[in-house]
Structure 1
Amino acid sequence: MNVLSVALSVLETALVFVVMVSVLVAAHEYGHYIFARLFGMGAEEFCIGVGVRPLLTWGRRRYRLALSESERAALPMAEGALDAGEPPRELNEETRFTVRAWPIGGFVRIKGMVPQEDGSEVRVPGGFYSKAPWKRLVVLFGGPLFSVLAGVLILFFLYWAVGATRPAGTSIEGIVRGGPAQAAGLLPGDRLTAIDGQPVLEFYDVVSRVRDQAGRDLQVRYVRQGVERETRLQPKLAELPDAVMGSDHLPTGEMRRQAKIGAAFGLVHVALGPVGALAEAVSRPQQAVVGMIAIFERKVKVEDSVGGPIALATMTDAAVRQGILTLIEWAGILSISVGIFNLLPVLGVLDGGQMVTALIEMLRGGRRLSYKVQNAMAAVGFSMIVLIVIGVFFVDIKRLVMPSRPMPEFVPIEAPKR
C-alpha cells in the first residue's frame, strides 16, 4: 500500500468519524434544547463542536418566550411598556445554530446558566436558574436520554432491516490451542449432543451447562462424521468477566467470570421482526450500564474497557473497513455509550453531576447552593474530568506501544481421525 493510499484511507476514516460524532452530538444536545424550550428557557446558541468562537452560523430561529409572573416581576420595564405600567409578558428571543472548530463535543447555551457571585442568575427571565429545580433536572437529563434513544433507534431499524447474528447450534468451528476442548480431543466439525447427561440442542445450552463448572470433570457426548463419541473435559474459568446471557440470547444484567471450554461455535444471520429487533436494541443500554458498573466494582480492568479518541478512531476505522452496516451499528453503540457516560455524577461538569446539584436543591425546597459551594463542586468535577482524560489518553498510548492481551490462537483445521 503506497503513501497516497494510506493518506486517503486516513482521510476517509477522519471524515466518517467527524460526521458520525457530529450527528451523535447533535442528537444529545437536541435533548437539552427541546426540554429547555418546553419549559420556557431561552436557548441562545446550539453548537456542534467546541472552540473559542463559531466558525459558521448555519441557521437562526426567532421565537417569543412567554414569561411567568415571577419572571415578569424581576424584569425591568421595557420602554414600550412604561406607559402601561407593567412589564412585557413575552420576550423576543433568537437561537443561533453554529459550528466550532473541534468536532469533539457541543453545547446548548441556555440563558442565565452561568452562576453569578450575587446569585442574580435566578432573576434572569427565561433563564435556566429561574426555573424550578425539577425542570432543570429534566433539561439536564434530556441530553443523555436523547443519546440513548438515538442509539436504540439506530440499532432497532438496523436489526429490523437486516437482522442480527446469532450462535448457530452446537457444532464446533474452532478449537483454542491449549484449551480444555483440545485436551479432550475435540475437533472442528464435531457437534456436541450432551454435557453431563443433559442434552444440548443449541449454543445457549452449552453455555448454561458449562459456565459454573470450572475445574469439574464433565462427560461430553458428541457426533463426528455421523458417529457418536464420548470424552471428558474440565472447563476453565475465563480471565475476564463477561455478560451472563439468558435463554433469549440477551444479557440478564449480570456480569462475572464464567467457565469456558475453549471452542468457537458457528454464527448464523437471523431475520428479526419489529419485536425481536426492539428487544435486541434495548438490550444494548443494559449492557452498557452493566459494563460500567463492572468497571467501578473492579470486575474488569479499566484498560480492557475504556478508550479515548485514539481508540474511538481505531474502532471507527475498523467499522469503515467492514462496511456500512457495521459502521451504523457502531454509531448506535457509541451513542448509547455517550448517553450512559454523561450520567456519571461528575460534579459541575457532566450532565449527571449537574443533575446531582439540581436534586440537592430540590431537597432544599428550591433554595440555591451558595456560590462558594458551587465553585468547590465545579473544581472537584473539573479535577475528576482532567484525571479521567489523562487516564484515558494513557490507556490509548499504552495500547499503541504495548499490545494488549493476545487473542486466542486456534488450532489449524486438520482432517478428523476416524
Structure 2
Amino acid sequence: MTAILLAFIGFCALIVLHELGHFTAAKLVGMRVEKFSLFFGRPLAKVQKGETEYAIGWMPLGGYVRITGMNPTEEIPEEVAPRAYYRQPVWKRIVVIAAGPFVNIVIAFLIIWALLLANGQATDQPVVSKQDLGQPAAQYLQPNDRIVSVDGVRGDPAAIARQVSTHRCAGRQVDGCAAATPATVVVERDGRLQTFEITPRYDGTRGIERARLGFSYENATRNVGPVDASGVAVTGMWDVTTRTVETFGKLFQAREREQLSGVVGTSETLRQSFEFSTTLALYVLAIISLSLAIINLFPFLPLDGGHIFWALVEKIRGGRPVPFSVMEKAGAVGFVLVIMLFFIGLSNDIGRIGDGTLGDIGR
C-alpha cells in the first residue's frame, strides 16, 4: 500500500511541476492564467485566488493550465485582452509552452545527477552483488568482490558459472545437496587476491538446475564528482531521448508497438520500483519525467510541441498569424496520434496484466 501511495505521489508531483512550469512562465511574461488544475474532469475541489482558480479533477490522467486567449477566436473582455495568449509576441508564447517540458527535463537531470553523486557510476566490471548473497557464498564472499577464477578457469560470469556447474553431488542431484568436491575460488578484494575453498550446492530451481555458489552479479561502480556526474547524466538522457524517438518512429512495426506502455503500466512499474529500492524508484521517476518532456515536444497539437511549432511558423511568416482553421485540421492529426498512443499503451498494459508481466522489474 505504501508503494502504491508513493508511486501516486511521484506521478502527481511530475504533473504538478510540469504545469507549474507553464503557470510560472505565463505569470512572469504577463499573461492571464484563468485555471491551474491537477487532473481532468469536473473539479473535486477548487479554490479561487485572485484571477486564478486552482482545482483538482476527478480523472487522474494529467493536468492543465488555462491561459486566457489560447483560442484566438474566443471573445475576451477588453480589460484582459492585452494579456491574452495570442496577443503576445511569439517569443513569449514559446517560453510559456516550453517551460513545462523544460521543468521535466531539469527534474530528470537533477534526479540522475544526485543518484550518480550518491551511488557512483556503474561500470562494465561484474562484481558480487549484495543482493541474493546466500549460502554457501555468504560465509566467504563479500559484496564488490571480483571473481578472478574458479578452479583456475577465468572468464566472464557465464564461464565462471559453467565451471561451478561441473561440481556435482556424490549421489542424485537434488535441491540443496552439496557437491562432492569444493571449488577453488580466487577473488580480488580491496586490491588484493584471496583464495577460498567453497563447496557448491545444487540449485533445483526451475530454469537453473545446476550447482551454484549462491551469489549474483552486479556491475561495479566508480565515484564521480559533480562535473563528471553532469556529463554522465546528459549522455544517459540523450540515449533515452534517441531511443524514445526511434520507437515512436516505428509505430507501424508490431514489435516496436509492443514496447509502449500506458498510464497503467507506467504506474505499475513505478510502484514496483518503490518496492524494490528507493534508488531504482527515483531513477524510474527520472525516466518518466524525461519521457513526458520528449512526448510533449512532438510537433502536434494539442501537445506543447504543436503550439511551439505553429508559433515558429508564424514567426517565419513574418508575424502573420496562421489561420486557426489550419491549426485545427493539423490538431486533428495530433489528437489522433495521442489517442492512438494512449490505446496502444493501454492495450499493451492489459495484455501484460493477462500474462502476469505488467511492470516486471529485475527478473
Q: 2:95 aligns with which of 98, 121, 138?
A: 138
Structure 1's unaligned 5+ residue stretches are 1-8, 63-93, 174-180, 191-223, 227-263, 411-418
Structure 2 CA distance for partners of 1:96 and 1:296, relative to 1, 3 Å: closer
Counterpart residue identity of residue 238, structure 2: Q
> What amino acid is aligned across from residue 230 of structure 2 in structure 1?
L
| Residues 293 and 371 of structure 1: CA distance in aligned 2, closer, same or farther (over 3 Å) | closer
CA distance in 1, matches of 2:94, 2:278: 37
* Aligned with 2:268 (options 314, 326, 332): 314
> Counterparts of 2:42 and 2:261 in 1: how far apart (Å)?
26
TM norm structure 1:
0.60
1:217-232 correspondence to structure 2 within 5 Å: none
Q: Could you say which residue in structure 2 is the equivalent of 1:17? A: 7
Equivalent residue of 1:41, what SS?
coil
2:355 equivalent to 1:398: no
| Contact kept in structure 2, 1:288 and 1:340, CA below 8 Å | no
Deviation at 1:380, TM superposition (A): 2.1
Match of 1:33 in 2: 23
8 Å Cα contact 1:117-1:371 kept in structure 2: no
The residue type paired with residue 168 of structure 1 is Q
Q: Distance in 1 between matches of 2:104 and 2:57?
A: 20
The residue type equivalent to 1:323 in the other structure is S
Deviation at 1:302, TM superposition (A): 2.1
Query: Is residue 81–residue 87 contact of structure 2 (8 Å, CA) maintained in 1?
Result: yes
Q: Which moved more, 1:151-160 or 1:266-275?
A: 266-275
Deviation at 1:147, TM superposition (A): 0.6
Contact 1:172/1:188 (8 A) holds in 2 = no
Secondary structure of the corresponding residue to residue 51 of structure 1: strand
Query: Which amino acid in 2 is paired with 1:336?
Result: L
Structure 2: gaps of 5 or more residues: 128-145, 149-155, 164-183, 187-215
Change (3 A) 1:336 1:296: closer
- CA distance in structure 2 between the partners assigned to 1:334 and 1:107 by the alignment: 18
Match of 1:43 among 26, 33, 44: 33
Q: 8 Å contact 2:262–2:344 — kept in the other structure?
A: no
**Secondary structure in 2 aligned to 1:102?**
strand
Contact between 2:314 and 2:322, CA under 8 Å: does it hold in 1? yes
1:133 Cα deviation after fit:
1.8
Distance 1:300 1:155, change over 3 A: farther
Residues 1:399 and 1:286: Cα distance change in structure 2 (over 3 Å): same
Match of 1:283 in 2: 235
1-structure distance, mates of 2:270, 2:124? 25
Paired residues for 1:253-264 under 5 Å: none
Structure 1 residues 129-167: Cα deviation after superposition (integer angstroms, max 9, x where no partner): 000122212211111111110111122223223334333
Corresponding residue to 1:382 among 319, 322, 335: 335
Pairs aligned (count): 284
Query: Letter of the aligned partner of 1:291 in structure 2?
Result: R
* Cross-structure match for 2:174: none
Return closer, same or farther for 1:131/1:287 CA change in 2, 3 Å cut-off: same
- Contact kept, 8 Å, 2:43 with 2:55, in 1: the verdict is no
Offset from partner CA, 1:10-56 (integer Å, 9 cap, x none): xx343222211111112111221222122211112222111123523
In structure 2, the partner of 1:335 is 289
3-state SS of paired residue (1:52): strand
Runs of 4 or more consecutive aligned structure 1 residues displaced over 4 Å after TM superposition: 117-121, 169-173
Q: How far, CA to CA, are the matches of 1:392 and 1:187 in structure 2? A: 40
Alignment of 1:232-271 (within 5 A): 266-271=218-223
Root-mean-square deviation (CA, aligned residues, Å) is 3.4
Q: Distance in 2 between matches of 1:292 and 1:389?
A: 15
Note the C-alpha offset of 1:362: 1.1
Equivalent-residue separation in structure 2 for 1:327 and 1:150 (angstroms): 14
| Matched residue, 1:53 | 43
CA contact (8 A) 1:134 1:362 kept: no
User: Which one of the candidate residues 286, 301, 323 is aligned to 2:277?
Assistant: 323
- Which residue matches 1:367? 320
Question: Which among 62, 65, 86 is matched to residue 129 of structure 1?
Answer: 86
The TM-score with structure 2 as length reference comes to 0.68
Match of 1:212 in 2: none
Please give the secondary structure, in 2, of the residue aligned with 1:100. strand
Distance 1:371 1:294, change over 3 A: closer
Q: In structure 2, how many angstroms separate the alpha carbons of the residues matched to 1:172 and 1:312?
A: 36
| 1:148 match | 105
Residue 124 (structure 2) pairs with residue 167 (structure 1) = yes
Contact 2:8 2:267 in 1 (8 A): no
Q: Which residue of 1 aligns with 2:72?
A: 115
Aligned partners of 2:297 and 2:303 also within 8 Å: yes
Helix, strand or coil for the counterpart of 2:125?
Answer: strand
